[in-house]
Amino acid sequence: MPTFPSVEWFDTIKDIVNNDPAFRQLGTVDAVVGIKVEHKIFEVTFEAFECTKVREASENDLRDMDFWLEQSYDQWKDMLTNIREHGAADLSHTLNTIDLNLPEGFARSHDGYRRDAFYRFNQSIQDFFNASAKIDTQFAPMEAVTA
């Protein structure tokens, strides 16, 4: 049972979408996306029709990413639990909805142009997280992400 957040968890999701013809049918995705969970940061790379790489990253790496998704750990858990319960994000838990709900935004970037990758590949990134409905996610203790 993969633990969120971890490289193992993202790798599991990566394998699911890379083996899902529906993900490929959404079209090409070329983006380097950061996932920020409190102090933990991960980099997920999408290239052409697949997710090609997952790695743990640092605060400095954020500058080189197209955008990163950032919310509190509790909000991450809420989002993933909702996806697990509904098989996909419901109407109020999509990435875009969360982005508009957060004063600072969910998708953040240092680059006014590259940030738009969040919009251009929105459904693919959404499906990436929706794939987590297919696994039993174990959530790491709060200390693990705030240390």
Residues that bind another protein (CB under 8 A): 26-28, 30, 47-49, 91, 94, 96-97, 99-101, 111-113, 115-116, 119-123, 126
CB 69: neighbour CB atoms within 10 A?
23
Least distance from another protein to the Cβ atom of residue 11, Å: 19
Q: Which residue's CB is nearer to another protein, number 81 or number 122? A: 122
Give me the least distance between CB of 134 and another protein, in Å please.
19
Of the two residues 25 and 58, which places its CB atom closer to another protein in the complex?
Answer: 25
Nearer to another protein, 8 or 119 (CB): 119
